[in-house]
Structure 1
Amino acid sequence: MNLWEIFVAIVLGIVEGLTEFIPVSSTGHMIIVDDLMFKSKELFSKEVANTFKVVIQLGSILAVVIIFRERFKELLGLKKGSAGGTASSGPRLQLKHVIVGLFPAAFFGFLLEDTIDTHLFSVYTVLIGLVIGAVFMLIADFLPNKVTTTHSVDQITWKQAIGVGLFQCIALWPGFSRSGSTISGGVILGMSHRAASDFTFIMAVPIMLGASGLSLLKNWQFITIDALPFFIAGFISAFIFAMISIRFFLALINKIKLVPFAIYRIVLAAVIYIVFL
């Protein structure tokens, strides 16, 4: 393992951490940074490179778990004021809302996993996802007669939880962005941008952890002693920069909304089109 490979791992971890949970498509960025600049599948075998992408995604997931740790304790009944503790005043987000939101994407993701991996992971399909996703985000921000009724994630209704879960299915198309589809969907359904973002991040942990965990189990044999520094460097950098990215995003999303991200996605799509197509 040489210094160049460690540098590649750190940069890819940074890209993953910065883009995984904001609505700009981490897949689109990986195409630009990895496939164009670093070509990790040429540094390592295809299996090792794919396993690495699972490992750095786990680093990003860990960041969400830490940022929302008190909320997860509450949802799991491990904290006072939660379902398993002393009742708190006012409505609170409940685990059943999260489960309802998870079900549609988990079901269709399991059903269509092989089809998506075989037919939808290409530069062209990601390009389509980036552009259509950007249009969807603009529609969410400029929808006429839209009324915001849910200003906190604790006010989410069953209808909104199910609706956001259905919108998450759109993100099975690579390049669409899970957070882009769910935050936009939440806003369309009457949630504030911050409430939709909070629900998106909380809901992302179990579904991403399940998918990444299964992928890691299938590819465990590729995490060798020689490649371990590569995996560790990527995991740590993804974790650190996901923490930074998520905190800034949550602090600003109610102010800047989705328009800047939609514009950025269109610019990114143009760059991918010029470079690859």
Structure 2
Amino acid sequence: MDTVLLVKAAIMGIVEGLTEFLPISSTGHLILAGSLLDFVGAKAKVFEIAIQTGAILAVVIVYWQKIRATLVALPSSRQAQRFAGNVAVGFAPAVVLGLLAGKAIKAHLFTPQVVATTFILGAFVILWAESRPQSAARVQSVDDMTPLDALKVGLVQCLAMIPGTSRSGATIIGGMLLGLSRKAATDFSFFLAIPTLIGAGIYSLYKERALLSWADAPMFGVGLLFSFISAWVCVRWLLRYIASHSFVPFAWYRIAFGVIVLLTWWTGAVVWQD
């Protein structure tokens, strides 16, 4: 058993769990962390997608009451049917675009330079969204969303296929710009993550199954475990945070981090690997 590899897997799992649900791009951080740790290559990319399942398990546990209530009421409750339908509608655009363009996006855009640039651009979108009055929010709860609201958020989620954009950032900030309250946008982002990330993980493992063997199981297991633990802590913290805070600090973090990556790349201080 390669202890160094397991330590790298644990670090990558922690990075995934801490960044997946914050508007700072988990994919971007994983690309940069993988570059610094020399954890790169085709198998590493499968690993990065697969360990998202650990983070999603944390969301399922935190939101279990809502999920369970929806599943139990699904056969008879119109509200439960509408909520489940909205999640399905929001999930659909990512499936279509992922199948059509996922390979090309991974081949050309998964670079530290692209990540740093989208970090900075995304920050200005967050600052713009947070400058708008929250009293203007049209939708206060996920149960008040229409299928059209869900479709719009699902289309915005597709922007997150560009690394560094942030899936949670695109759905939360996009939802706020589309009329959702900060709480409704955050909740729907979490619910939308469940089919999106589980689907991406299963599809990636199946598609790249020839690369994997049972010898990789400890690496994936460690990554999933640490992803779950760190995501559980992060989700619970974020839900408390948004009750009385804005996402502005995350925007300034994105700008600072993006500038550092661009400067270290331009000066050669860090040799970032694609």
Output the TM-score relative to the length of structure 1.
Answer: 0.88
- For the structure 1 residues 223 and 62, does the alpha-carbon distance in structure 2 shift closer, same or farther, using more than 3 Å as the test? farther
Task: Indicate whether 1:58 and 2:57 are aligned.
Answer: no
Task: State whether structure 2 residue 181 is matched by structure 1 residue 192.
Answer: yes
Indicate the residue corresponding to 1:4 in structure 2.
4
Is the CA contact 1:91–1:155 (under 8 Å) kept in the aligned structure 2?
no
SS in 2 for 1:204: helix
Change (3 A) 1:110 1:241: same
The Cα of 1:252 is off from its aligned counterpart by: 1.0
What residue is the counterpart of 1:109 in the other structure?
Answer: 98
Cα pair distance change 1:225/1:257, threshold 3 Å:
same
Per the TM alignment, residue 54 of structure 1 is displaced from its structure 2 partner at its CA by: 2.5
Q: For each residue in 1:98-146, what CA deviation from the matched residue of structure 2 results, as whole angstroms up to 9, or x when unmatched?
A: 1221222222222111221121111222122111111111111113696
CA deviation after TM superposition for structure 1 residue 91, in Å: 8.4
Q: Deviation digits for residues 172-198 of structure 1, max 9, x if unmatched?
A: 211110111111111112211111011
Q: Which residue of 2 aligns with 1:248?
A: 237
Whether the 8 Å CA contact 2:134–2:181 is kept in 1: the answer is: no
Does 1:14 find its partner at 2:5? no
Give 1:198's aligned amino acid: D
Alignment of 1:52-201 (within 5 A): 52-75=47-70, 78-79=71-72, 82-85=73-76, 87=77, 94-143=83-132, 147-201=136-190
Q: Which runs of 5+ in 1 are unaligned?
A: none
Q: Determine helix, strand or coil for the equivalent of 1:159.
A: helix
Q: Verify the 8 A CA contact 1:19 1:26 in the aligned structure 2.
A: yes
TM-score by length of 2: 0.89
**How many pairs are equivalent?**
266
SS at match of 1:255: coil
Deviations along 1:157-181, one digit per CA (max 9) or x if unpaired, are 2332222122112212111101111
Q: Does 1:215 align with 2:214?
A: no
Q: Which residue type is aligned with residue 47 of structure 2? A: F
Give the conservation status (yes or no) of the 8 Å contact 2:32–2:112: no
Q: After superposing the two structures, state which structure 1 stretch, 239-248 or 252-261, moved more.
A: 252-261
1:204 corresponds to 2:203: no
Identical pairs, percent: 38
Q: How far apart are the structure 2 equivalents of 1:125 and 1:101?
A: 26
The answer as to whether partners of 2:49 and 2:200 remain within 8 angstroms in 1 is no
CA-to-aligned-CA distance 1:210-247 (integer Å, 9 cap, x gap): 12111101223444343322221111000111111111
Counterpart in 2 of 1:235? 224
